[in-house]
Amino acid sequence: MENATNSGINYEKEVTTTVANGWEDLVFDYRGINAANSYHHIVLIFELGIMGDGSSSFTFLFDDIRLVNSLPLSLPLDFESTSTNYNWVNFDGGDVTVINNSQSGGINTSARVARMVKNAGQTWGGSFLTLSTSMDFSVNKIFRMKVFSPRAGAKVLLKVENSANSGMNYEKEVLTTVANAWEDLVFDYSGINAANTYDRVVLIFDNGTMGNGSANFTFLFDDIQLVNTVPVTLPLNFEYPITYNWTDFDGGNVAVINNPQSGGINTSAKVARMIKNAGQTWGGSYITLASPIDFSTLRTFKMKVFSPRAGAKVLLKVENLTNGGINYEKEVLTTVANGWEELTFDYSAINTSNSYQKVVLIFDNGTMGDGSSNFTFYFDDITLN
């Protein structure tokens, strides 16, 4: 905003879009403006600091510029607005407050987040938030939420309800995969009845376990959003409606399939299968992630593997997006046959100043595959710990 005759009298705010090819309602907090001044001009700049080229990538639509004194509660929920009242309603021991981000880093450096402390009460203790309008599941049917958990394996239940009829609801529960670090959890809502009306978000951490209000039952969460696609990032668990574009080479062949060996440590619905055919002894496959892997604090890969035999070699390698010479790899041996086990790859010596965006897998490197059951491997839950 500028004064009509003196552009030195101005005030500005810049925000970042959060979705592509879809409308969203952006919020600019002007509470710091000097209201004693006079402002006549509205100035808009998209991608300040970047040269445009007139292409579709630099073509933006905007509408409904308005000045308000409060904000409706709607998705996405990022808790950044200090003028919005996030009226979380706690029940049976759950307690949610919006706080300054006490764990800024990794994938979440935002200023404000929500904190859930699960106290003693009921094992289902949690909290809910009623939105100003109902959620639209006609196109977007995947929830994403950033979570900072004190431990891996904690259950996170995200549920939506009709505020007038709680019997009209849908829920999904996923597990955290890392401790004391932010991760982006994904909740597959593809099975929801989009004809129903849902305007309430319910969160329960560790459903079925009594909380005690300690640090072990304190969770942070942020950026609850509804999307229709999910970028391919770690962890890779193959459960969500994502296209996992594995690129096969020299006889390796990877496909995501229904878990044909459900049991033991892996009862998930989907897994990946590697069939090593004849080609080269180093035949395998790789997947390119949406962003480089962050090795600043986490440097141990874990992966569940189902091998037809003990002693099979499993090589896990990471590479630079454009320069395969920038890479790091570790190889371990399977220890059981025809059963799931979790393999560990020690990446503590990796050069963290490099950028790695590809994950490469080679089974039985140095041995020619033949496409038989003896060269068929299943893998799942590739995580960085």
Identify the pLDDT of residue 71.
79
Give residue 170's identity as a one-letter amino acid code. Answer: Y
Which tokens belong to 40? 């006549």
pTM of the model: 0.70
Tell me the pLDDT tens digit for each residue of 235-245.
899 987 778 99
Contact of 154 with 206, CB cutoff 8 Å: yes
What is the separation of C-alpha 252 from the centre of its chain, rounded to a whole number of angstroms? 28
Identify the pLDDT of residue 85.
85
The single-letter DSSP state of residue 293 is -
Rounded to an integer, the average pLDDT of 352-376 is 98
For the cut 80, the answer to whether the pLDDT of residue 97 exceeds it is: yes
- Domains 89-227 and 246-384 are alike in CATH topology: yes
Beta-bridge partners for 200:
130, 161
User: Which CATH number is 246-384's, of 3.40.50.300, 2.60.120.260, 1.10.540.10, 1.10.260.40?
Assistant: 2.60.120.260
Tell me the pLDDT tens digit for each residue of 15-65.
999 888 988 888 898 988 999 999 999 999 999 999 999 999 999 999 999
Cis, bond preceding 72 (omega within 30 deg of 0): no
Identify the pLDDT of residue 70.
76
Query: How many whole angstroms separate alpha carbon 135 and alpha carbon 72?
Result: 13
Q: How many Cα atoms sit within 13 Å of 333 on the Cβ side?
A: 6
Identify the pLDDT of residue 31.
84
Beta-bridge partners for 224:
77
Q: What is the DSSP string of 126-174?
A: EEEEE-SS----SS--EEEEEEE-SSTT-EEEEEEEETTEEEEEEEEEE
For the chain, the domains span 1-67, 89-227, 246-384
Give residue 19's identity as a one-letter amino acid code. Answer: V
Domain 89-227 CATH superfamily:
Galactose-binding domain-like (2.60.120.260)
Tell me the pLDDT tens digit for each residue of 194-234.
999 999 999 999 999 999 999 999 999 999 999 988 889 99
Q: Give all strands of the β-sheet with 340-346 in edge-to-edge order.
A: 252-258, 270-276, 376-384, 300-306, 340-346
Tell me the pLDDT tens digit for each residue of 334-362.
999 999 999 999 999 999 999 999 999 99
Tell me the pLDDT tens digit for each residue of 128-166.
999 999 999 999 999 999 999 999 999 999 999 999 999
Q: Where are the beta strands (DSSP E) in the chain?
A: 89-91, 94-100, 112-118, 126-130, 142-148, 155-162, 165-175, 182-188, 200-205, 218-227, 246-249, 252-258, 270-276, 284-288, 300-306, 313-319, 327-333, 340-346, 358-363, 376-384
